[in-house]
Amino acid sequence: MEAGGDAAAPAPGDAEDVEDTQFPSEEAGDGGDVHEGSPDPEDGGLEETGPETKEQPPDLLSPLPQSEAPSCTCGLWSPAASENSPMGGPESGSGSQGGDPSDEDWRSKRKHVFVLSEAGKPIYSRYGSVEALSTTMGVMTALVSFVQSAGDAIRAIYAEDHKLVFLQQGPLLLVAVSRTPQSASQLRGELLAVHAQIVSTLTRASVARIFARKQNYDLRRLLAGSERTLDRLLDSMERDPGALLLGAVRCVPLTRPLREALGALLRRCTAPGLALSVLAVGGRLVTAAQERTVLAECRLDPADLQLLLDWVGAPAFAAGEAWAPVCLPRFNPDGFFYAYVARLDAMPVCLLLLGTDPEAFHDMATCRRLVEDGMHTLGAMRALREAASFSNASSASAPAYSVQAVGAPGLRHFLYKPLDIPDHHRQLPQFTSPELEAPYSREEERQRLSDLYHRLHSRLHSTSRPLRLIYHVAEKETLLAWVTSKFELYTCLSPLVTKAGAILVVTKLLRWVKKEEDRLFIRYPPKYSTPPAAPAASADQASHNGLFTGP
Amino acid sequence: MRKPDGKIVLLGDMNVGKTSLLQRYMERRFPDTVSTVGGAFYLKQWRSYNISIWDTAGREQFHGLGSMYCRGAAAVILTYDVNHLQSLVELEERFLGLTDTANADCLFAIVGNKVDLREEGAAESQEEDGHSPGMASGGCASLKVSKQVRPEDAVALYKKILKYKMLDEKDAPAAEQMCFETSAKTGHNVDLLFETLFEMVVPMILRQRSQGPAQTVDITSYKPPGRTKAGCCA
C-alpha cells in the first residue's frame, strides 16, 4: 500500500533532515521491513470515522486525490497572488508586520494551527495576529467548501514537506499546517485536543447555538483570554508529547501506602454534588476519586483528565480559591461542571473538586479544608513537596525522576505505558517517563526527540501495517520502540549503543519498571466515594453518555 | 470553615486591572497577572469580621456566572480603565444587570484604575514608561485623550446606578465618596478604596445580625428554583 501513498506524497521532512527519515536497521515484529514514512491518506481515512464524520456524506472515507494539492497550498501562502514561491522553498515574501502570511518569520514556523468559523471568520491562530490572516483563512474555507460541494470532505493535503490537516467540528473548522514529521492522524489528534479545549470553556452546545443564531459571529469575543491557554496546550504537546501520543496521564511517583491513604482521604471528603476530586502536582496526577452517583459507571476519559490536569496548572489558579465552570468534552460536551480549584499550602499541590451545583462553592471550600487537614495528619504535604522538588529548575514544580534512577547506562529517556493493568476497564491509562536531561536541555534537541517519538509512534500504530518492534539508528541517538500486550515502550539511547547493548538496556529498564510499578503508577485506583449501587444497565448508561472508554 | 460575614465583588471588563487591584491590596505588590478564570475567592479579616472578596473574570465567556458571584453581596466594586472609555460603558451595559442578585442595600463603588498610565492631569504618578504585560490592552500611552474617562463620567454613572436601583440619592452614600481613581501599579488610593468599603460594610453586617440569625445571609429569596438545572447530566 505504501507505493500509492509515496508516489503522490513525498515523505515529509525528507529534504531537510535525511538522517531522521532513514531507518538503516530495523527489526519489524511482524516480519515486514519498513519503507520511508509514507503519510498514507488511508491512515486518516480508515481510522477516524468518529464524531466529526457523523453529518458528513458516507463517501467521506475515500482518500483525496493528492496530486492537485500543491497548487492549492501555494495559494494559501500567497493570498495576494503576488508571489508564487513554493512553500518550503526560499521565501520571497519580505517581512512585514507579524502574522502577515508574507512575513518570513511567520512562514518559517514548523507548525501552524488555525481555528475558524464555517463562514471563514478567524478565531485563533497559533502565530501572528488573526486579523492579518483573514484572507488566508478565506482560502481555507474555500478549499473546504469546494470539496464539500462535491459531496466529499477534505481531510488532508500533502504538499512537498508540508502537511495540511483539516478537521471540521460542528460550526468550527480547525486546520494544522505542519512540516514536522507528525502523521496526519497525529496532527488530527492535536486538532481534536484544541477543539476539546475550546469546548471545555464554552461547551459544544453553546458554540452550535451561537452560530445557529448568527453565522458570522466573532467567537473571539467569547474566547478572549483563552488564546494563551491554547498556546500553552500546543506548546506542551510539542515539548512533551507523551500524554497525547499514548492517550494516558502521568502520575507523580509516590509510595503506594501514601497514595492509597490519599485516595482514601479524597473518598472520605465529600460534598453535595461532588463528582470528582483530583490531587495533582505540576500537571501530574497524585490520585483521583470519583463519586459513584454522579459519574456512575463512566470512567473518566484520560483525555478529559489530562485536560483538567493542564487546566488546573494554569497560572490563573495560583492565588485564591477559584470557582469556575468547565466542560469535560469526552464525558459530556454540552454541559458544564463547576470546579473548585485551590493550591494547598505547599504551593504546587493542587486540589480540584468538580461538582454539578453552581452554588456549591462554600461546600467545596469546606471539603477542601477537610482534605487539607487530612493531608497534614498523614504528613503528605512534606512527601509531595519532596516529590515536587526533585526536578531541575527549568520545569518549575513538576515532580519527576532522573533517568539515572534506572541504572542503565546509555539510556537517555523513555516513555512507558503499561497495558497489563489489573481490572482493565476501570483503570485509568497512565504512562511514565523521566525528566528530559542533557543532551535534551535545549529546545531544538527536545523537538528532535519529540519528532522521533512521533515517527516511531506512527509506525507502530500504522493502520495499514502496524509494527511491534522498531530499532532506529538516527544521527544523534538510537531509538527502540516496542509494543507488546503488556506495555508500549519508547526508549532513546546513546547513538553508540549496539543492538545487543540496546536489548540489554531495555531489559534492565523493564525490570526496573516492574520493581517500581507501585510507585510509578496508580495500580489500584480508588473505588467510588459512595458504595456502588446495583450495577445493572451500567454499560448502557455509558453508551448513552457518549463516553469513550480508554484503550 | 470561617464563615464570611459580608461579601464584596469586583466586577468590570477584562484587562481593567481587577486582579491587580486586589493583589496590590492583599499582597502589597503588583505582579504580572493572567486572565482570571471564573472567579477567585479571598477572605480578608477586618477587625473581627471575615469579609469575602470575589475577584471575577471580566471575560465575556464567564458572564453567566456574574450574578452567582453577586448573590447576597454587600458591596460591588465596578472597575474600569480610565484610559479606555469603553470599559466604563461596559459597566452599565454588561455588568450592572449582574448586580440584581446583590443585597437590596448593596453599596456600589465606581473605580477608575490605571491612572498611572493617564497622559495628562495625572499628578499622582510620573510613570509613563509603557504598559505592563499583565494589563496589556488599553495600557498603551498612545491612546487618544478622547478615550480617557473624566471623573465626572464616573459620577454620572454612579447616579445612574442609584436610579436603576431606585434608591434616593439622599439615602445612598455620596457619589464623591464612592467614586475612586486608583493605580494598582503605584498603589494610589488602593487601600483607601478597600478600607472605605470595609468600614461601610461592617455596619451592614451588624444590622443584618441584629435582624436575627435567620437573616444573616439574605440569599433565600434569590435562590434559583432547582439546584439540578445546570447539572452536567441534565
d(CA A290, CA A536): 19
Interface residue A273 vs chain B (CB under 8 A): yes
Residues (pLDDT < 50) of chain B are 1, 121-145, 215-220, 222-234
Q: Residues A448-494: pLDDT tens digits?
A: 999 999 999 999 999 899 999 999 999 999 999 999 999 999 999 99
Q: Specify the DSSP class assigned to residue B136.
A: -
Cα separations (Å) of A182 from A176, A195, A293, A332, B156? 11, 18, 41, 29, 58
Question: Would the CB atoms of B232 and A337 count as touching at under 8 Å?
Answer: yes
H/E segment holding residue A394: none
Residues (pLDDT < 50) of chain A are 1-97, 391-397, 424-425, 531-551
Predicted local confidence at residue A224, as pLDDT: 84
Task: Please report residues of A whose CB lies closer than 8 A to that of B216.
Answer: none
Q: Specify the DSSP class assigned to residue A304.
A: H
Question: By CB neighbour count within 10 A (0-12 exposed, 13-18 middle, 19+ buried), where does A10 fall?
Answer: middle
Cα separations (Å) of A519 from A199, A257, A444, A523? 34, 9, 32, 9
Mutation for testing the B interface, residue in A321, A326, A367, A373 having most B CBs under 10 Å: A321
Question: Would the CB atoms of A228 and B35 count as touching at under 8 Å?
Answer: yes
One-letter amino acid at B46 equals W
Question: Would the CB atoms of A324 and B38 count as touching at under 8 Å?
Answer: yes
Mutation for testing the A interface, residue in B8, B32, B71, B233 having most A CBs under 10 Å: B233
Interface residue A221 vs chain B (CB under 8 A): yes
Residues sharing a CB contact under 8 Å with residue A194, sequence separation 6 or more, in sequence order:
A113, A115, A124, A174, A230, A233, A234
Task: Please report residues of A whose CB lies closer than 8 A to that of B230.
Answer: 335-336, 338, 356-358
Provide the shortest C-alpha distance from residue B15 to chain A (in Å): 9
d(CA A354, CA A343): 15
Predicted local confidence at residue A270, as pLDDT: 87
Interface residue A202 vs chain B (CB under 8 A): yes
Q: Residues A435-456: pLDDT tens digits?
A: 888 899 898 999 999 999 999 9
Predicted local confidence at residue A56, as pLDDT: 39
Question: Would the CB atoms of B62 and A361 count as touching at under 8 Å?
Answer: no
Measuring CA to CA, which residue among A399, A239, A232, A415 is closest to residue A310? A232
Q: Which of B36, B61, B224 sits opposite A316 (nearest CB)?
A: B36
Task: Please report residues of A whose CB lies closer than 8 A to that of B55.
Answer: 320
Q: Which of B1, B64, B231 sits opposite A356 (nearest CB)?
A: B231
Predicted local confidence at residue A228, as pLDDT: 87
What is residue B191's three-state secondary structure? Answer: helix
Torsion angle in degrees (nearest 10) through CA of A56, A62, A67, A69: 20
Provide the shortest C-alpha distance from residue B145 to chain A (in Å): 26
ipTM above 0.85, yes or no: no
The H helix count followed by the E strand count for chain B is 6, 6
**Cell numbers linked to A292:** 459513584
Predicted local confidence at residue A371, as pLDDT: 94
Question: Would the CB atoms of A319 and B68 count as touching at under 8 Å?
Answer: no
Question: Would the CB atoms of B40 and A315 count as touching at under 8 Å?
Answer: no
Question: Quick one: closest CA in A to B71, which residue?
Answer: A359
Question: Quick one: closest CA in A to B42, which residue?
Answer: A320
Task: Please report residues of A whose CB lies closer than 8 A to that of B231.
Answer: 273, 335, 356-357
Predicted local confidence at residue B209, as pLDDT: 81
Question: Would the CB atoms of B39 and A224 count as touching at under 8 Å?
Answer: no
Mutation for testing the A interface, residue in B37, B60, B227 having most A CBs under 10 Å: B37
Q: Which of B23, B38, B60 sits opposite A325 (nearest CB)?
A: B38
Domain boundary assignment for chain B: 6-119+148-233
Interface residue A544 vs chain B (CB under 8 A): no
Q: Which of A221, A339, A358 sits opposite B60 (nearest CB)?
A: A221
Predicted local confidence at residue A45, as pLDDT: 37
List the strands of the sheet with A156-159, edge to edge. A122-125, A111-117, A172-178, A162-169, A156-159
Predicted local confidence at residue A83, as pLDDT: 37
Q: Which of A319, A324, A336 sits opposite B39 (nearest CB)?
A: A324
Q: Which fold has domain B6-119+148-233?
A: Rossmann fold (3.40.50)
d(CA B234, CA B230): 7
Neighbour count for residue A37 (Cβ, 10 Å): 23
Task: Please report residues of A whose CB lies closer than 8 A to that of B23.
Answer: 319
